[in-house]
Structure 1
Amino acid sequence: MIMEVHNYGLHVTNVQIDAIAASSVFLIGDNDSIVLSSFFDTPPESYSILNLVPLGA
């Protein structure tokens, strides 16, 4: 996704943040790019890897 926003003459005087989500970005100012990534933080002991069908005769 490519998104281009022009905020010419942007002037911020006051910011109030009431809540923060698990995936949040709060940015005031200039930047060239934002890279988003995600991962699962599931602990290894919660995985169940089983062979449900016998592979040999």
Structure 2
Amino acid sequence: MNYTVINRDVHIGDIHLIAVTSSAVFLIGDADVINIASAFDTPPESLIIGPFVPLIQRGGQG
């Protein structure tokens, strides 16, 4: 996808911001590059690592 951006002057008055979610970006102005990163924040005690549960077909064989 190719697109053209023409930057003009930006004049910002007052901003009333309630919240920004963890997957949102609040940006005013120019950005040459925005890098996206992710972190896996599940606590270790909630991870279950063990044998897989076998999958079977209902009403069939196997």
**How many residues align structurally?**
53
Cα deviation, residue 51, structure 1: 2.0
Q: Residue 45 of structure 2 aligns to a residue in which SS?
A: helix
Question: Which structure is larger by alpha-carbon Rg, 1 or 2?
Answer: 2
Query: Is 1:49 paired with 2:58?
Result: no
Tell me the equivalent position of 2:12: 12
After superposing on structure 2, the runs of 4+ consecutive aligned residues of structure 1 that deviate more than 3 Å are: 1-7
Same amino acid, percent of matched pairs: 45
Aligned partners of 1:38, 1:3: CA distance in 2, in Å? 26
Letter of the 1:38 counterpart: S
Shift in CA distance, 52/25, structure 1 to aligned 2, threshold 3 Å: closer
The Cα RMSD (Å) is 2.7
> Gaps (5+ residues) in structure 1?
none
Q: Whose RCO is larger (CA < 8 A, sep 6+)? A: 2
Shift in CA distance, 52/16, structure 1 to aligned 2, threshold 3 Å: closer
TM-score with structure 2 setting the length: 0.59
